[in-house]
Chain A
Amino acid sequence: MSHRVFITGFGIITSIGKNAEENFQSLVKGNYGFGPLEVLETVHRNSLSACEVKFADKELYEQAGVDAKQGFTRTSVLGLISLQEAINDAGLTHEEVKTSGLVSATTTGGIREFEKFYYELMDPELQGDFVRFTDTATSGEHCERLADYVGIKKYLGTISTACSSSANALMHGAQLIKNNKLDRVICGGAEALSKFTVNGFNALMILDKDHCRPFDSSRSGLNLGEGACYLVLESEAEVNRKKRKPIAELKGYGNANDAFHQTASSPDGAGAYSAMKLALSSARLNPDEVDYVNAHGTATENNDLSEGLGMKRVFGNTIPYFSSTKPYTGHTLAAAGSVEAAYCLMAIKHQMIWPNLNYKHMMPELGIEPITTLKQKIDLKNVLSNSFGFGGNTSSLLLASV
């Protein structure tokens, strides 16, 4: 069980860019994706803004090189675009892709298409183009769609633990390698905005109509986002065989449960604390060896307090640099864990820390401050990325430079 797991490539699409380079440029320049909804058809277009990928489905199909008739949902086509980039970035051959596993995360899969054609789908006598979306209310549909397209058969899995999903996908992938089940596994998540999620979060009253403000005392909710991101994980033996320098090591991970409330985090951050502690112990690191924390930081009243208290418990009086990148991308739900893991990889590679946009006032009950301007030439050896979700799920990943 001592095998090391390396990240050898990744691909990403979010509201701040359709590939890794565009995402990186936006992070550096402080360009965010928040704005009125223009692609999703909803009555909330003028009242609720979000971080939307500003391409119509048709444009996404073109980018991915697929035909609309093939029945890719928006979630799966976002997934395919970033999956293809990840495969290219890692330089995987067709044979290597075929022997990979795919562990993908989503909360609602293709519900966007299911809701669009709901009445047609509910009439068993009707026939038409909508039939291609028959199974899209299931989370697992997108993963099979992606795997079938790129030719992965060896291991498929869909994880759905709400907003911590793709962090758990990465953790599951790492364990598949450590247990010698796979040499290589592509892990991540994909999530498109839908009426279902926009209205669900709106009904929960945790959406901020204004641009979100993580860790700020005036924070009043999250902004939703959409996107997808996949990371290629490979075993140490594979990395040595190919003599290719990996981007980073997935050195540790922790998964715990807050066991406090169906949708809210505990006021003392017990779950957040456990996840971070477990990630550190599995990486055999002390808290003072962590250089940066990419916080879950959704900007809800509840999350940021719980997470902040969890961090204080883990790190004591010397809190490492931390920031939430949610103001850039919004909360991409199941994709957030892999999106933010990718931002950590960019941080390690470019020796930069991304600013926590919109932060002005310290939370008095917390007394800690995130990084608010771009930090450069910072040597980052160990970076922690947090992802928490409904159902009490808390996960934390430890990414290390190589």
Chain B
Amino acid sequence: MGEKVEYFINGAGIISPQKTFDSNVFLTDVAQYDKNVLTCITPDFKAYINPIQMRRLSRMLRIGLSAATICLRDSKVFMPDGIVTATGYGFLDETAKFLGEVLKQNEKQLTPTYFMQSTSNALAGLVALTIKCMGYNNTFASKGYAFENALTDVMMQLNENASANFLVGAYDEAAEVQYKASMRVEHFKKECINNLSLFETPTKGSIQGEGSAFFMLTRKQSVSTWCGLLDMHVVYKPEGNELNDALKTFLSKNHIQPKDIDLIVSGASGDIDHDAILDSVIQSSLHTTFQTRFKHLSGEYCTATAFALWLGASMLKNQTVPEVVKVKKTQLPERLKNILVLNHYMGKSFTFILLTGLD
């Protein structure tokens, strides 16, 4: 088994509804929420953003810029060759603020700040501006697979330039407008639950989450390497046996047998129907594999794959599996080597990512 590792994660930074900005702790002190909306535990932004710049930035831009800065510092790459971001919903809070003013003030006496900060590429632009990075810059806004698009984009840039470092990240916010509008279409649970009991609630819908995570992706292993990234694949609206077949093809293409996978990071969201699809895939070929899950910690959002990637990379880097993510406690190997991320967004798009630990 084993394919040549093509890509490496040489740094990460994440701000989420758990205290993840501090890389000295790894999901030990778990935050609980009881209103179905999980919002970020933020660091002291002054540690990452200069105060003059900070005054003008929205909450999510502060979170995103801080996550990017944590990643840059962690990777010790202070001038990446390019920056690619991803978002499902964009800066929906700022969009709603501007839209609210447009409607309330009947299109009169408007100031442009919210409008300027509502564009989906505002974060990629802000990071570039902050570190004066004039290289490649792109932003994907493709709902449940935006982060996957961004990873694909970066992998292609790295194929053209093997010595480059790319900063790739995601952000999505628990925006009130989206939450309210999506309630009707069963995206979120009607009953209020504690986030830690997400998987004991067999109903439709998930809980709303948010977060921003950045990674330094390269083709060169370094002292700051967390793990290798072997491959990624997205399946959109699978029918019949398509998802199972796609997973088999994905694994065999990467010369990985189900038995070579030490651990699965499952993107189960607590939605009884959607999770059933994921479960059936796991049951069919990976039923003996050690399973972990995370959406009770992060909540559900379009770019939650970025949280899953961070979790997988962290477990490989630290060689520990936090108690709070464990599902099925089968025997873990002495050393974690291969991790499969299996995420879904609203049962509509499914993502496979293969990560590998480095000796």
Contacts and interface: CB of A to CB of B under 8 A. Distances in A.
A392 B137 contact: yes
A108 B89 CA distance: 10
B116 interface: yes
Residue among B118, B135, B144, B181 with the most chain A CB within 10 A? B181
B129 A392 contact: yes
B281 interface: no
Contacts, number: 204
Contacts of A200: 98, 110, 112, 115-116, 118
B119 A137 contact: no
A60 B32 CA distance: 49
A160 B129 contact: no
Nearest to B179: A124
A255 B136 contact: yes
B136 A204 contact: no
Contacts of A260: 129
A143 B89 CA distance: 14
A123 B99 CA distance: 16
B355 to A, nearest CB: 20
A143 B134 contact: no
A271 B134 CA distance: 7
A199 to B, nearest CB: 5
B155 to A, nearest CB: 8
Contacts of A148: 237
A172 interface: yes
B156 interface: yes
A181 interface: yes
B281 to A, nearest CB: 17
B111 interface: yes
Contacts of B234: 155
B143 A138 contact: yes
Interface string A168-203: 100010011011010000000000000110011011
Contacts of A271: 134
Contacts of A118: 99, 103
A172 B153 contact: yes
B310 interface: no
A262 B129 CA distance: 8
A256 B119 contact: no
A178 B111 CA distance: 44
Interface in B97-118: 98-99, 102-103, 106-108, 110-112, 115-116, 118
Nearest to A394: B137
A131 B187 CA distance: 13
Contacts of A178: 156
B134 A270 contact: yes
Contacts of A172: 138, 149, 153
Contacts of A162: 119, 121
A127 B184 CA distance: 8
Nearest to B183: A124
B146 A262 contact: no
Contacts of B288: none
Contacts of B115: 196, 199-200, 203-204
B89 A137 contact: yes
B357 to A, nearest CB: 26
Contacts of B146: 140, 158
A203 B89 contact: no
B143 A390 contact: no
Interface residues on B, range: 35 or more
A156 interface: yes
B265 interface: no
A69 interface: no
Given A256-B136, A391-B119, A115 B126 contact: no
A122 B119 contact: no
B244 interface: no
Contact of B137 (A114, A155, A257): A257
Contacts of B92: 137-138
Interface in A288-322: none
Interface string A364-391: 0000000000000000000000000111
A257 B182 contact: no
A156 B349 CA distance: 10
Given A162-B121, A256-B135, A138 B184 contact: no
A259 B184 contact: no
Interface string B176-198: 01101111110000000000000
Contacts of B95: 108, 111, 137, 196
Interface in A121-164: 121-124, 127, 131, 134-135, 137-141, 143-144, 147-148, 153, 155-162
A14 interface: no
Interface in B308-355: none
A264 to B, nearest CB: 11
A281 to B, nearest CB: 12
B236 A156 contact: yes
Contacts of B37: none
B102 A159 contact: no
B102 A393 contact: no
B207 interface: no
Given A115-B103, A205-B112, A391-B119, 7 more contacts: A107-B119, A115-B99, A121-B180, A155-B234, A175-B153, A203-B115, A390-B116
Counting from the closest, the 4 A-B pairs by CB-CB distance are: A391-B125, A200-B115, A140-B143, A139-B141
17 contacts: A1-B160, A42-B107, A44-B107, A115-B102, A119-B103, A138-B88, A138-B92, A138-B141, A156-B145, A157-B145, A157-B149, A160-B121, A160-B141, A161-B124, A161-B137, A257-B137, A391-B128
